[in-house]
Amino acid sequence: MSITFDTSYTDLPARFYAPQAPAPVPAPRLIALNESLARDLGLDANWLRGPDGLAMLAGNRWPQGAAGVAQAYAGHQFGGWVPQLGDGRAVLLGEVVGPAGRRDIVLKGAGRTVFSRGGDGRAWIGPVLREYIMSEAMHALEIPTTRALAAVATGAPVLRETSRPGAILARVAASHIRVGTFQYFAARNDIDALSALSDHVIARHFPQADGPLALLTAVVNAQADLVARWMSVGFIHGVMNTDNMSVAGETIDYGPCAMMDSYHPDTVYSSIDRGGRYAYANQPKIAAWNLAQFASCLVPLMGPQDTAIAEATAAVNAFAPAYQAAYLDRFRAKLGLADQDDGDGDLIAGLLDSMAANGADFTNTFNALAHGNARDQFIDPTAFDDWAVRWKTRRRPGWEDIAASANPAVIPRNHRIEQVIGAALAGDEAPFHDLLRVVSTPFDLAESDRAYSAPPRDEERVLQTFCGT
Ligand code: AMP
Ligand code: MG
């Protein structure tokens, strides 16, 4: 079999990307292949497992018709402007059009590109396994996300603090177009490119949008929904730079991300996020900040500038109410509430405040609501009882089913991911496959897998994650 690649992105002008073939690796070995995703893409899993497929996933075989480019983008990293970033270690093979629609296939860790700056263009097995598990768990949690098609060990070492085994992730996304892609051209005053990019994104992701203002509104709404979903599972992205915000509304760039164990709004995992800019509770504010950067890229396309600025500002300001509505929807469902009441925001905040004060586990507290034992999660269980008095007056018959379908039994806990990476480094990939299996059905935890729902013991706690380099 061969893959028919489509090239709508590389039909854009040449300044959007740099032609780039992946650099070959010495001894590729398939760590994991996502067969159900392969089917969604219209790809033959048996072929992907075979010598030709593996060679393609490792970057050793150049598939016919593949685009082979590194994409250009810029971005604000921790609020600081960087005029040129781009794919420093990712190569876009091209787009496939299958039952799930049009999807990019990118090899991450495929070697140096013109955008690599000082980097080696490679990835090691730790971040590759982390991204594989996290992105597949997010998908199973019904959160829009890039996906993992395959992880391949390269057989070549990668030098980090120490020498590590190299790996490549085959990543699938609706597209890899970021807020930072727009910023790249806006910063260069390249109105023709901005216009072409805007048309491309509308045609590809938001065909109902009739121009740049409608595009802005569509991206604002997609991000409001996305970030509300993150918040509803305790997800902390960790590096919400504008180059890591997809205009398609998917979660992208699983670097230092993690999901919370015990709830606290100030939780930060990323070792480089010293000021807590990307802490759990800051994520909606940061999303709005990023969207303001996006808006300023679109203003030049929006006709007379004073009205354009007013319209763009109003579109960005609409993020807060859209987010608030999406957040309330998600957390109402977590409490089992089907109808709406003005006091719901306070009711939700009351539980979360009490959880923070009582060291309650985020996932397990919400999951336990429908089982009647959530109070056990609280240092002082009467704090839960006090809150539950109000909650009980709001519940309606059938609330347990609503809560059960909104509260996962298991998430990819950070200490589990670290254990899996440690085992893989020692040559045992079975724990990776087992964790992946469990978090792929997060609402449905077998009794024999119960241990995966346990928070870390003190000595297992992992408080910091490191960027995926
Ligand atoms: P990230 O922090 O993963 O969003 O990456 C930020 C920028 O650094 C992007 O332009 C990446 O392509 C680039 N980058 C990250 N790791 C490497 C690496 N090992 N080699 C080259 N470029 C990298
Ligand atoms: Mg990135």
Catalytic residues: 243
- Answer whether residue 467 shows pLDDT above 80: no
Mean pLDDT of all residues belonging to the chain: 96
Cα–ligand 2 centroid distance for 260 (angstroms): 22
User: Which ligand 1 atom sits nearest the alpha carbon of residue 121?
Assistant: 20
In this predicted model, what pLDDT tens digit does every residue of 446-465 receive, in sequence order?
Answer: 999 999 999 999 999 988 88
Cβ–ligand 1 distance for 121 under 6 Å, the answer yes
Cβ–ligand 1 distance for 116 under 6 Å, the answer yes
Q: Of the ligands numbered here, which is closest to the C-alpha atom of 71? A: 1
In this predicted model, what pLDDT tens digit does every residue of 403-442 receive, in sequence order?
Answer: 999 999 999 999 999 999 999 999 999 999 999 999 999 9
pLDDT number for residue 311: 98
d(CA 195, CA 326): 30
- Answer whether residue 468 shows pLDDT above 90: no
Residue nearest to atom 23 of ligand 1 (CA): 88
Cα–ligand 2 centroid distance for 86 (angstroms): 9
Residues with a beta carbon under 5 angstroms from ion ligand 2: 244, 253
In this predicted model, what pLDDT tens digit does every residue of 99-126 receive, in sequence order?
Answer: 889 999 999 999 999 999 999 999 999 9
Cα–ligand 2 centroid distance for 46 (angstroms): 31
Q: Of the ligands numbered here, which is closest to the C-alpha atom of 467? A: 1
Cβ–ligand 1 distance for 83 under 6 Å, the answer no
In this predicted model, what pLDDT tens digit does every residue of 225-279 receive, in sequence order?
Answer: 999 999 999 999 999 999 999 999 999 999 999 999 999 999 999 999 989 999 9
User: Which ligand 1 atom sits nearest the alpha carbon of residue 120?
Assistant: 20
